Structures are given as C-alpha cells and as structure tokens.
Amino acid sequence: MKAATHSEAKRKVHVGVFERLINSKITPTARISQMRVGFPADVLTEIPGVLKLQKSEVFKVIGLPPSTASKFIREHKLLDQSTSERVDRLAEIFALASDTLGAADAAADWLAASNFALGGERPIDLLDTALGAEQVRRAIGNIRYGGVL
C-alpha cells in the first residue's frame, strides 16, 4: 500500500469542512477561530456539489474571481478571513434553509430559485453581502414561522 504524500494527507484532513459547518459539528468559538486562520481553499470544491450550483456561482457569492479560486485550490492555500466568513455564512444559511424546508435538496432548490419576497432575486445571489444574507434569513424565518412575506 502506497503511503500518502503530505499534500494528500493534508487534503484528507480538510475534506468535509463545508459539510461539518452545515451540520454544526464545529462550535461557534471554533468556527470563529478557523475563520480568523482561514478555511482551506479545498472547501471551495465541496460547495458546488452540495448546493447544486456552478463553481462560478459559488465563487461570485464568496467574492473570489474564478482564476484566484482555482489557484488557491491548486496550491492548497487558506482563504482570507473575509472570504472564510462568507463561506461560513453560506453554510449557516444553507443549514437554516435545510432545517426549515426539511431536506438539503429542497434548500438547494430554494436558494437557486427566484423569490418574490426577495424582489424576484434568487436567495443565493443575495448572500454576497451581510445585508442580503439578513434578508434571506428573514425570508426563511417567514417560511418557518408563517410570517408575512
């Protein structure tokens, strides 16, 4: 059996970062610490499959040009704090939508569909800003608790 190289071992450690964020396997204190250090760029390879989005859509939401994101992934770099915070926000909103709608697939579909309550915008397109994310949280809360849209 072939021994794993350092970079292979490093990748295995970080596989599932986005899934752990979604499933709240990381405490808020640990999340903050990890955001400050930076999430591994490999997390960017997980997100499109989980959210059923194109890579370019994910890169736009987290504020990275595709060429920069690809370079960071290829070189196994850490994301900076603000980009890591946007990844965390995306995971938090997705987890909230999944819980509210009852399934990850339903949440992914909801995030990608235009929404009347959000002025016809797709929820995913609003997650690039804190204010947009708050509007999406409010829409999810209205679904969850039967509030006025």
Percent over 90 (pLDDT), the chain: 75
CA 34 – CA 81 distance, rounded (Å): 9
Percent over 70 (pLDDT), the chain: 87
Lowest-pLDDT range, 22-36, 37-51, 83-97? 22-36
Tokens of 57: 């859509």
Query: Each residue of 69-104: b (16+ CB within 10 Å) or e?
Result: beebbeeeebbeeebbbbbbbbbbbbbbbbebbeeb
Residue 11 has pLDDT above 70, yes or no: no
Q: What's the confidence (pLDDT) of residue 23?
A: 79
Query: Each residue of 52-66: b (16+ CB within 10 Å) or e?
Result: ebebebbbbbbebee
Q: What's the confidence (pLDDT) of residue 1?
A: 39
CA 23 – CA 17 distance, rounded (Å): 10
**pTM (2 decimals)?**
0.83
CA 117 – CA 41 distance, rounded (Å): 33
Q: What's the confidence (pLDDT) of residue 149?
A: 54
Q: What's the confidence (pLDDT) of residue 72?
A: 95
Mean pLDDT of 122-139: 96
Return the DSSP state at 40. Answer: B
Q: What's the confidence (pLDDT) of residue 146?
A: 84
Q: How high does pLDDT run on average in the chain?
A: 87
Q: What is the DSSP string of 67-94?
A: HHHHHHHHTTPBPPHHHHHHHHHHHHHH
